[in-house]
Amino acid sequence: MKYKVLVIDDEFLLRMTLESGLSDRGYQVEVAGDIRQGVALAETFHPDVVLLDNRLGSDRGLDHISDFRQLDEEVQIILMTAYGSVSQAVEAMKLGVSNYVLKPFDLDEIDLIIRRGMEQLTNRRTVALMRRPNRELIGVSPGIQRIRQNIRVLAENDSVDVLIFGETGTGKEVVANNIHDGSARRDKPLVKINCGAIPETLLESELFGYEKGAFTGANKTKKGLMELANGGTVFLDEIGELPLPMQAKLLTFLEDRRFKRVGGLRDIEVNVRIVAATNRNLEEEVGRGAFREDLFYRLNVMQIYIPPLRERPEDIPALCQFYLEQFSLKFKKSFQGIEPEFLRTMERYDWKGNVRELRNVMERCALFSGGELLSGAESGLRLSGQSCPASGEGFPLRDLRQGAIDLRREVDAFELAYIRRAMELTGGNLSQAAQLLGATRFTLKRRLDGEEPDKDRKTTSGT
């Protein structure tokens, strides 16, 4: 990334020396000979760094610090002076000057000061923008192992955009965290944007920023989240909630990673990876005109599907152990394990809220349990299908008085009828049909492929 430096000094030779020397070191440089020209240039050039001389004819650079801060509160201001004093240095720091250098200086010194200042700014942005409550991708199921492999591939190819699908609570944000942490962008910001949480009227200015005077209340230039994420990753959560007008703007941005701030005329280029996530079926959203087809295909370079927790019960013990350790520390308790019956209940539960629901259950139980083993007394879990109608009430039973039946075949036909009905209701969506039936996607696929149910299932024989 080329940092932009604005040099303001009334000495022609120094201006030219800095312009030439800093340009050779990879900076984009503009120069001004007085404070008014400098402020005017800052409004259009949008510098990352201002090298400001303190004595500019009858003007004093320190008196104009606020002019630059109003344009960009994050701009790095380096004050240059040939008449330094302790009191002047203290005043400069109080006014928001980033650094203070005495003339004469060499270019290597200025280069080092600029780079250190920009590194510190990047670190502050990273701390402010990154929220990492849980970066663990926990599980042993084939689905989780496949996701880990995808993340390893993405770590080596950090220019590829990613689209994550999964039900609410499956851990889409955790996968986004891992994609960022595993890539070469790990030391740059990870900016998270919930597309459904920002009002439509504010979305564009939040994403792309705005120029001073762009609208009422825009008293200074503000960088958007895309610009703050430069060099890093932007996580667009709930991308399916993005309004159509904003989808068009996002598509334009994705073509070349350029945008204009609201009220701006100049293109700004950034280097960011986009990781988008949704719990919606975007292909269906495209079909009904709620999501742009061209944006879907532009985002869908690499797709990661996170199976719901009910389809990977083998991950539940590891998740329970992780949260047991986490909440033992939080509540200062010393749990040695989980009651076996409670763990069996957890493994058989439907988990419509997925990992997020499991986490909440574990936190609630850890809070109220007092023994060495975590009790499920406060879990509130109720397994579906625990009670059945007496004497087959409500089921279409065959008249046994007309002859014996093959019970195995009758039960199989009954299961298949329910599966076919669920498939009709969900338009053939295997995952949604499994959710309706309280079964796993794998089980439904086996039954639809004609495989026999569990061979060890007991049937009643005539006695």
How far apart CA 295 and CA 277 sit, in angstroms, is 13
The whole model's pTM is what? 0.61
Phi, psi (5° rounding) for residue 407? -60, -40
Strand residues in 19-75 grouped as ranges (E): 28-32, 49-53, 55-56, 59-60
Verify cis geometry, omega within 30 degrees of 0, for the bond prior to 47.
no
**Tell me: the pLDDT tens digits for 95-143?**
878 888 888 888 888 998 898 888 777 666 555 444 444 567 899 999 9
Contact 31, 7 (CB under 8 A): yes
pLDDT tens sequence for the chain (463 residues): 578 999 999 999 999 999 999 999 999 999 999 999 999 999 888 898 999 998 888 888 888 888 888 888 788 999 888 876 767 777 877 887 888 888 888 888 899 889 888 877 766 655 544 444 456 789 999 999 999 999 999 988 999 999 999 999 999 999 999 999 999 999 899 999 999 889 888 999 999 999 989 988 888 889 999 999 999 999 999 999 999 999 999 999 999 999 999 999 999 999 999 999 999 999 999 999 999 999 999 999 999 999 999 999 999 999 999 999 989 988 888 888 999 999 999 999 999 999 999 999 999 999 988 888 998 888 878 765 433 333 333 445 555 655 677 777 777 777 877 787 778 777 778 887 787 787 787 777 777 776 554 444 444 333 3
DSSP codes, 246-275: HHHHHHHHHHHTEE--BT--S-EE---EEE
How far apart CA 204 and CA 278 sit, in angstroms, is 20
Q: How far is CA 192 from the centre of its chain?
A: 4
Helix H or strand E segment including 5:
strand 4-8
Helix H or strand E segment including 70:
helix 65-71
Q: State the DSSP code for 332.
A: T
Contact 75, 102 (CB under 8 A): no
